[in-house]
């Protein structure tokens, strides 16, 4: 694992964006695994700026997001579809047909998850998977316990996660959906490279558990330590528990 601790959050965000950009420019048809959450907002801001300022080309890039809430439509401002469109896709020259997120409005959610895995395989697998970390130690929405061989599936969200993500729902955890579709830990581990980014003091304890505690299903982010090509970017605050 390559661990990089940056002096402040903005430098960490810039580094994460430039790592993604260098993966994109080193492949003819890059396949990116994308993440959501407040931490990633700055990454997408920097990527959009790299497109605008330096001509970073998204025209041959495909993307697969980690997760989506069940029961939110694509144009619901609280959905991850909307988040991605708003923060990244509408700012860059990506082909809308190359953008993939699980459909949490599908009639048959199991079939949707199977189809999502198949689409990742058809694209040739994910080159670089971007990851945040939730307060429960989740990557994607892999709440504890999530065995490391889990695949894309429908999960029930932990109350702590619903609280953590309430800011997108008017601050009210009761408004946060109880279920989500998420890539499994096994799906994530199949990406050729992993890039986990965490910022701020609030993440210090869970980052320490993930990187230095027991490796196992109780902290799904600990699985990244089993991956041969994994980079972790932290700021000083999120690294303060190490
Ligand atoms: C959500 C996402 C996770 C992400 C987490 C971190 O729960 N499903 O993939 O890691 O948010 O959120 P934040 O960056 O807002 O702390």
pLDDT digit string, tens, across residues 218-242: 999 999 999 999 999 999 999 999 9
In this predicted structure, what is the pLDDT of residue 83? 98
| Tokens representing residue 74 in the block | 């694509």
For ligand 1, atom 12, name the residue with the nearest CA.
Answer: 37
238 lines ligand 1 (CB under 6 A): no
Q: Where are the domains of the chain?
A: 2-235
CA-based Rg of the chain, rounded to a whole angstrom? 16
CA distance 10 to 6: 9
In this predicted structure, what is the pLDDT of residue 2? 98
Q: Are strands 179-182 and 193-198 parallel, antiparallel or unpaired?
A: unpaired
Neighbours of 222 (CB within 10 A): 21
198 lines ligand 1 (CB under 6 A): no
Task: Note the CATH number of domain 2-235.
Answer: 3.40.50.1360
37 lines ligand 1 (CB under 6 A): yes
Q: What is the ipTM of this complex?
A: 0.96
Q: How do residues 96-142 score in pLDDT, each as one tens digit? A: 999 999 999 989 999 999 999 999 999 999 999 999 999 999 999 99
Please report which helix (H) or strand (E) contains residue 81, including its range. helix 80-87
Q: Which residues contact 82 (CB under 8 A, 6 or more apart)?
A: 74, 75, 76
66 lines ligand 1 (CB under 6 A): yes
Q: Which residues contact 89 (CB under 8 A, 6 or more apart)?
A: 96, 99
Q: How do residues 130-186 score in pLDDT, each as one tens digit? A: 999 999 999 999 999 999 999 999 999 999 999 999 999 999 999 999 999 999 999
Cis peptide before 145 (omega within 30 of 0): yes
Calculate mean pLDDT across residues 90-99: 98
Q: How do residues 36-90 score in pLDDT, each as one tens digit? A: 999 999 999 999 999 999 999 999 999 999 999 999 999 999 999 999 999 999 9
């Amino acid at each position: 694992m390559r661990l990089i601790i940056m002096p402040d959050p903005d430098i960490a965000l810039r580094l994460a964006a430039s790592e993604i950009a260098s993966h994109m420019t080193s492949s003819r048809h890059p396949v990116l695994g994308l993440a959501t959450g407040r931490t990633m907002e700055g990454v997408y801001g920097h990527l959009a700026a790299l497109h605008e300022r330096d001509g970073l080309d998204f025209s041959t890039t495909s993307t697969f997001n980690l997760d989506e809430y069940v029961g939110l439509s694509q144009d619901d401002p609280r959905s991850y579809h909307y988040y991605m469109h708003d923060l990244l896709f509408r700012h860059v020259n990506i082909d809308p047909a190359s953008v993939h997120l699980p459909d949490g409005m599908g009639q048959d959610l199991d079939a949707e998850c199977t189809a999502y895995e198949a689409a990742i395989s058809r694209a040739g697998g994910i080159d670089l998977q971007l990851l945040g970390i939730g307060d429960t130690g989740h990557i994607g929405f892999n709440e504890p316990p999530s065995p490391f061989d889990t695949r894309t599936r429908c999960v029930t969200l932990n109350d702590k996660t619903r609280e953590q993500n309430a800011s997108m729902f008017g601050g009210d955890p009761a408004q946060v959906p109880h279920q989500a579709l998420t890539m499994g830990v096994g799906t994530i581990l199949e990406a050729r490279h992993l890039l986990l980014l965490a910022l701020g003091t609030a993440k210090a304890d869970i980052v320490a558990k993930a990187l230095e505690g027991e490796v196992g299903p109780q902290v799904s982010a600990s699985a990244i330590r089993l991956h041969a090509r994994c980079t972790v970017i932290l700021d000083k605050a999120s690294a303060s528990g190490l």
